[in-house]
A and B are shown apart, each in its own frame.
Chain A
Amino acid sequence: MLRVEGLRHAFGRVRALDDISFHLTPGQTLAIFGPNGAGKTTLLKVLVGLIRPQAGTTHVEGGPRAVGWMGHQAHLYGHLTVRENLLFWAALYDVPAPLRRARVDEALRRHGLADRADEPVRALSRGLVQRAAIARALLHEPRVLLLDEPFTGLDLAAAAEFRRLLAQLAGAGRIVVLATHNVDEGVELATDIAFQQGGRFVSLGPRGGRTAGAVAEEYRRAVAGG
């Protein structure tokens, strides 16, 4: 369960979060759409514990260990191989030592990185680094997955594969929150949709039967004033 109540945060005079509240239960996927500077990244950073909000509370069932986080950057070391990076993060997330190698091998296979596992991350393309970042975020089998612009850099096939994976995770009872400025990404995965602007959720509710086109049209009306 993920519960957020009355979050407020400002950077100087810029209001990044303004009274954000929502509640997600296992299996729900919240897609947050908003233009650049709307406060999406700040919201995710508060949820993951990187920023302490000036007001409001967040609660993630299971604590930090239950959260998987993928930010704008991959959080991988360029001079370590993909496998070494994943083993390192698995150790920090307390994946039991006897399971670590098998878990990493499975992640490498699932994300199409098995052939490149022993290459340093700095030798990989942007798309492959993004896949490795996804593998890293999922390694400890988090119950809550927080994704900031997760489709950036993925080619069409990798993006489709990632969408399938997210659907599987939601189907298996994970909570997914994904933030993006691109309404075409992630709509079909979402059970709930929020539009964020100026730090506020100007709209939040179940997706219902709305198509991507309908959501895009609503987004334009709600956020872009069009």
Chain B
Amino acid sequence: MGETLRHAWTLARKDLVLEFRTRTAILSAVVFTALVLMVFNFGRDPSAVAAIDLAPSILWVTFTFAAMLALNRAFQLELDNQALEGLLVAPISRTSIYWGKLAANLVFVAVVEAVGLPLFVLFFNVPVADVLGPLVGVIALATVGFVAVGTLFSAMLVRTRFAELMLPVLLLPFLIPPLMGAVQVTARLLAARPLSEVAGWLRLLAAYDVVFLTLATLLFPHTVEQ
């Protein structure tokens, strides 16, 4: 286990250094997030629908599609000089490759969300100060689940044509449960309702994380076989 984690960290660190150096995907994701929030803000009619009713859905649509950019690039990096082949030959477990990619993707998506959340508050003027802790917790809970599934799909599609097109098509149906949960919980939090009202959704989010992290870890080695 220690060796797997060490190799996973080596891989994740390499991916983050590469991203820090090129800044292509992170900049695209952040700009995308800002633009989407701005368009939704100016596109809505404030006299027809209250911001607080729309805000949770808008937040999660934005985070989901921004995360796609990260997930798309996760294994594209490994096509550089066929580095993926080198990883598969190296004496490291396939699990460490998956966990390394997952960790890097989580950091990447977390950065996008960290930029997106203040913009969301700014544009929609929703009260988050009192619920910031639980809100961050829900964002983390939902993000782990969909990044776990997305990382697996990204590996499956990396050698296919139109991978960037196929990823959202295949991934979005799997994201329906965590997104529904995340939207429901976010809506209740922003309306200052007690968390006990959404205990079921929170359990669903936690269960989704456990089930799909386990499944993705078990399935990943089969997705990268030649």
A→B interface (CB under 8 Å): 45, 48-52, 63-65, 67, 69, 71-80, 84, 88-89, 91-94, 121, 129, 136
Contact = CB atoms under 8 A, between A and B. Distances in A.
Contacts, number: 71
Contact of A88 (B3, B14, B77): B14
Interface string B64-78: 000000000000010
Contact of B88 (A50, A91, A93): A50
A64 B91 contact: yes
Interface residues of B, number: 24
Nearest to B6: A91
Given A92-B90, A93-B91, A71 B10 contact: no
Interface string B2-20: 0100010011001001100
A135 B80 CA distance: 18
Contact of B81 (A48, A76, A84): A76
A215 B81 CA distance: 33
Instruction: List the 4 closest pairs (A to B, CB-CB), nearest first.
Output: A75-B86, A73-B82, A64-B91, A65-B91
Interface in B4-40: 7, 10-11, 14, 17-18, 21-22
A80 B14 contact: yes
B10 A92 contact: yes
Contact of B89 (A48, A52, A76): A48
B88 to A, nearest CB: 6
Contacts of B22: 79
